[in-house]
């Protein structure tokens, strides 16, 4: 039977799914097509406007306009013009419900899942309405498609294009915003406060030493650096605790080494208890950084 099987709305700039129909078909072809749709959603910036990725039994149609793109999986025999009519109607409904600000600020997948009710209604209408009921809208879309035909891809091409995209952007920001960390603990907050306090103490002592001793004794440059390096290290420890880094173990080890080395160097300007306090805070922060885990991957639950 010719019909629309699945539809979703995604953010164009990063492929973040904003809403989707809660349809799930226990069919291998459909599940594979869902995977291809997800891959295609990540490279929509390469395909402004309308397009179709053709498969053997199923097609993916997409209509990318502005901040969002509407995408749908249809049976191969479903009329292309009808599919784009459906996607345009979906886009109008979504943009009427949500503004660009809320779309841009969405930080988690399916932030507008309640829109599924609208998707289901529009999908049902297009699956069971006759062409005569949609005549005016359909004629308009057909004219647009004649003037500007949609891009046509093969479903297999999406994987290749996604691979090329990944290779060209191989070294993007390491601290990926999509990595969501588990909530901050009370001990983690304590380590942040102590780290900020140690950073402030190091900065104050370093500046004070530079202002009052450097001109009289240029050799104090070593002590000044021994205060300023831990200052930077403490700030970086706070950053590593708050944001994920794939190489955090190495960075934590290097930071801890320099904090310990600088504080040992400052023996004489600091007493033993002060040195132990700074090193203890560094160890506490290192432990908190390494034990704070990523959130479990969000499952789409068939959405």
CATH classification at residue 44: 3.30.450.50
Q: Which of 164, 195, 217 is the last residue of a domain?
A: 164
What mean pLDDT is predicted for residues 130-157? 82
Q: What is the reported pTM?
A: 0.55
Confidence category of residue 210, pLDDT binned at 50, 70, 90: confident
Whether residue 283 lies inside any domain: the answer is yes
Residue 283 has pLDDT above 60, yes or no: yes
Confidence category of residue 138, pLDDT binned at 50, 70, 90: confident
**pLDDT of the residue at 243:** 86
195 & 239 share domain? yes
* Tens-digit pLDDT profile for residues 155-193: 776 665 555 455 444 434 343 344 567 788 899 899 999
Residue 81 CB neighbour total at 10 angstroms: 21
Per the model's pLDDT, the better-predicted residue between 131 and 238 turns out to be: 238
> Measured between alpha carbons, how far is 37 from 50 in angstroms, rounded to an integer?
14
157 & 202 share domain? no
> Measured between alpha carbons, how far is 82 from 135 in angstroms, rounded to an integer?
10
**Phi/psi of residue 263, nearest 5 degrees:** -70, -35
Can you point out the beta strands (E) in the chain?
4-11, 17-20, 49-54, 58-65, 68-75, 151-154
Whether residue 175 lies inside any domain: the answer is no
**pLDDT of the residue at 132:** 67
Whether residue 258 lies inside any domain: the answer is yes
107 & 139 share domain? yes
> Measured between alpha carbons, how far is 16 from 42 in angstroms, rounded to an integer?
8
Look at the chain and report how many structural domains it folds into.
Answer: 2
Q: What is the DSSP letter of 296?
A: P
* Tens-digit pLDDT profile for residues 54-103: 888 899 999 988 889 999 999 989 999 999 999 999 999 999 999 989 99
Confidence category of residue 215, pLDDT binned at 50, 70, 90: low
Residue 230 sits in which domain range?
186-291
């Amino acid at each position: 039977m010719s019909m629309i099987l699945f539809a979703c709305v995604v953010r164009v700039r990063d492929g973040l799914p904003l809403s989707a129909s809660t349809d799930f078909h226990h069919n291998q072809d459909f599940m594979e097509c869902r995977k291809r749709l997800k891959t295609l959603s990540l490279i929509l910036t390469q395909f402004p406007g309308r397009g179709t990725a053709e498969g053997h039994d199923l097609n993916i149609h997409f209509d990318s306009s502005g901040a969002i793109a509407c995408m749908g999986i249809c049976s191969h025999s479903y009329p292309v013009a009808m599919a784009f009519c459906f996607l345009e109607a979906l886009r109008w409904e979504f943009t009427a419900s949500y503004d660009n600000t809320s779309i841009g600020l969405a930080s988690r997948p399916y932030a507008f899942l309640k829109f599924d009710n609208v998707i289901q209604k529009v999908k049902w209408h297009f699956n069971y309405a006759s062409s005569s009921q949609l005549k005016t809208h359909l004629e308009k879309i057909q004219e647009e498609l004649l003037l500007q035909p949609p891009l046509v891809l093969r479903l297999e091409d999406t994987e290749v294009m996604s691979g090329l995209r990944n290779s060209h952007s191989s070294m993007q920001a390491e601290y990926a915003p999509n990595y969501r960390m588990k909530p901050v603990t009370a001990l983690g907050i304590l380590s942040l406060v102590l780290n900020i306090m140690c950073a402030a103490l190091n900065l104050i002592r370093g500046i004070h030493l530079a202002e009052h001793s450097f001109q009289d004794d240029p050799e104090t440059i070593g002590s000044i650096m021994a205060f300023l390096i831990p200052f930077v290290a403490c700030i970086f420890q706070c950053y590593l605790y708050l944001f994920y880094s794939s190489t955090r173990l190495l960075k934590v080890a290097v930071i801890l080494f320099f904090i310990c080395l600088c504080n040992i160097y400052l023996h004489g300007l600091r007493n033993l208890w002060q040195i132990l306090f700074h090193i203890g805070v560094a160890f506490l922060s290192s432990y908190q950084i390494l034990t704070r885990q990523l959130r479990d991957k969000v499952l789409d639950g068939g959405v």
